[in-house]
Amino acid sequence: MSDARILFLDDDPVIRILRFIFECRENDRWLADYFAPERVDLRRLVQASRGLRTADGATVGVQGDAAHRVEDASIIVFRRGDVTSSLIDAHPSLRLVQRLGARSDAIDVTAARERGVRISCLPRRTLAWTAEHALLLMLALGKQLVVGDRAVREGRSAVEHGIDGVSYNWVGFARASGLAGRTLGIVGVGEVGTLVAKLASAFGMRVLYWKPRRADLALERRLGVRYAELGELLAESDYVSLHAPARAETENMAGASFFRSMKRTAYFVNTSRGRLVDETALYEALTSGAIAGAGLDVHAIEPRAAGDRLAALENVILTPHYAGGAKSGLLDELETIVGNCHAALEGGRIAGEVPADLA
């Protein structure tokens, strides 16, 4: 019988998938609904989790759930939350703190090291893909990709013939451009926002950022970004990319005043959550010329209805909330966590292990 005692610090939906597997709830309807419309085979993850499941004798619970308490956990798994010195002290047999995500700033690394606890902060490929998608939307907007493709297919032309068979920009798009030399304003610099900043710098963009609590100077220097108050960021940016968390206080944060503060030539991109945007205000900004265009992977109501007013606008690019790739890609991340749990209990190699010198 397994003596694994696994405490989930939060009930984030991605983490919940793994908890359900450990709790032998792989047939729970919630899982099918979460992955829909994809049909995902969980058998590989179930097989990898042998020895960590309640059927094998493991104890599994969520912090704060009195009905499923985990005393003296050997493994803590989380995505959002804080692993403090007092939490580590409360679990003397703790062997692994496993975070789904690359950042370790929510963990008291020094306290963990002093107690011999290993730490893994696992970079997420799905977040890297989301950051790529934000740049994809920026490129597509700046280069007028969708309308340019349509113009070529329809045979539209503003000239009768080229010179020596070459006719640059024969449709006559006056605003087609690119990213190099432009200013990007990132609203919210969490994990995805950080990845967007790195990619944007590689494209030769100047990067400003805003968040309620300014990042430390070392991170700013490492990313090559500059902090700006929100009003300044909106006024100076050629592209504004939204990466704030979805909370009650951030709902509709991108509203009428937000869009009025942007340049008339600027583009707005959202790959975070649809509820952060007042879509009525966005529609008015797009149709009045207050901003030049928008790229949305997330939407106020999903799926977006056919014939939606934003879908009728040529200066909008819409994708169906798939910036992070297929949902089945989460299984690779979760299987790596499973492997780390086994390694922590058996003394093996841990993926994403935080270097000892970080403390």
- Cα 16 to chain centroid distance, Å, stands at 17
Q: Which residues contact 320 (CB under 8 A, 6 or more apart)?
A: 297, 302, 303, 304
> Distance of CA 298 to CAs 109, 134, 263, 279, 322, Å?
35, 11, 22, 11, 8
Residue 321: active-site member: yes
Question: Which residue of the set 68, 80, 321, 342 is catalytic?
Answer: 321
Question: Which residue of the set 5, 53, 243, 273 is catalytic?
Answer: 273
Question: Which residue of the set 160, 249, 302, 346 is catalytic?
Answer: 302
Q: Taking a C-beta distance cutoff of 8 angstroms, is the pair 274, 302 a contact? A: yes
Which of 217, 212, 215, 213 minimizes the C-alpha distance to 194? Answer: 215
Cα–Cα–Cα angle for 192, 195, 196, nearest 5°?
Answer: 85
- Cα 253 to chain centroid distance, Å, stands at 18
Strand, coil or helix: 302 = coil
Strand, coil or helix: 107 = strand
CA 1 to CA 158: how far, in whole Å?
75
Q: Taking a C-beta distance cutoff of 8 angstroms, is the pair 300, 255 a contact? A: no
As given in the structure block, the two tokens for residue 21 are 């597997």
Strand, coil or helix: 293 = strand
Residue 302: active-site member: yes
Backbone angles phi, psi at 94, to 5 degrees: -60, 130
Question: Roughly what angle, to the nearest 10 degrees, separates helices 13-22 and 330-346?
Answer: 50
- Cα 255 to chain centroid distance, Å, stands at 22
Q: Which residue has the tokens 């990845």?
A: 195
Indicate which residues carry an active-site annotation.
273, 302, 321
